[in-house]
Structure 1
Amino acid sequence: MAENRRRYEEELLLCCNGQPRWTRRRIQEVIDILELFEQKPQLHVRRTSNDYFYAKTYEIIQKSGQKYLALKRKSKSDRLIQVLAFEDYYDVLSEIHRKTGHVGRDKTMRTAKKTYTLPVWAVNSFLKMCMTCQNKKGCKKTKLIESP
């Protein structure tokens, strides 16, 4: 299991090509910015355009006494979509993929997107390493061209 995780994380680093990632540290920084956003007027500190961007786009949720970052909902009845840290992709995808019965990229992605932010390339990389899915695919069929 640890070997699969290591290989998966190496694959992800190749796939994301230096694009910014939501790491646990970055998520905590945004949570800190959002918490300070409300206090700034009382502290006589100007809010920045970044402050407004984060306040408009994200919200803080609490589960079991822990703070998480989520996409901002239009109403309280909307589903919470948690911003998932890069370091947690493997664990979350393992659980979702196992629970859905190794159903493939689209259904795994649809199930994950109900609860988490997750890039398609992360799901694709995970599925490439799933031996059950690879065995399900079987051998590729080739078409024979008949001569006239």
Structure 2
Amino acid sequence: MELEKKFTEELYKRYQQTQRCLLPKEKYFGIIDELKQLQPQAKKTSRQYKLLARYEVLQCGHMEKLIKKRTTPEDSPIYFVTIEDTFDIIKTAHIATGHGGRDRMLKEL
């Protein structure tokens, strides 16, 4: 548990330096809500156009996931994850590869 806490704290420090690659939960769900509320015919701001160009919301059962905008629906989705969920995802991939190294984990992810 201590390792997870240190890892998450380090990610938050990096988020404070540059807010480009990391998403805390509130920002992640805020983007999903904003995308869902956009009306097709309504006038949009430049921020809304940027969100539409970069993100998509994928419905997985009762869950909604934020993914990178796909060029075609057949493309595999690339998921965005929150800072809080990053440790668990990396740990799961590490165990699934038999405690493999970085390259084997990247293939798993």
Please report the TM-score for the alignment, with normalisation by the length of structure 1: 0.64
Q: Choose which of 56, 73, 81 in structure 2 pairs with 1:59.
A: 56
Query: Computing the radius of gyration over CA atoms, which structure comes out larger, 1 or 2?
Result: 1
2:84 counterpart residue number: 87
Structure 1 position 47, deviation (Å)? 0.5
CA distance in 2, matches of 1:25, 1:9: 15
SS in 2 for 1:83: coil
Q: Matched residues, percent identical? A: 26
The 5 A counterparts of 1:68-107 are: 68-107=65-104
SS in 1 for 2:64: strand
- Shift in alpha-carbon separation, 1:95–1:72, aligned structure 2, 3 A: same
The 5 A counterparts of 1:1-148 are: 2-16=1-15, 18-20=17-19, 21-38=22-39, 41=42, 46-112=43-109
Structure 2 unaligned blocks of 5 or more = none
Structure 1 position 13, deviation (Å)? 3.5
Structure 1 position 75, deviation (Å)? 1.0
Structure 1 position 38, deviation (Å)? 2.3
Runs of 4+ in structure 1 off by over 3 angstroms are 13-17
- Shift in alpha-carbon separation, 1:76–1:107, aligned structure 2, 3 A: same
CA distance in 2, matches of 1:36, 1:11: 33
| Aligned AA (1:4) | L
- Shift in alpha-carbon separation, 1:56–1:14, aligned structure 2, 3 A: closer
Q: Deviations over 1:76-108 (max 9, x none)?
A: 111011111111011000001110122212332
Structure 1 unaligned blocks of 5 or more = 113-148
Contact 1:37 1:55 in 2 (8 A): no
Structure 1 position 111, deviation (Å)? 2.8
Matched residue count: 107
CA RMSD of aligned residues (A): 1.8
1:119 counterpart residue number: none
The farther-off stretch of 71-80 and 102-111 is 102-111
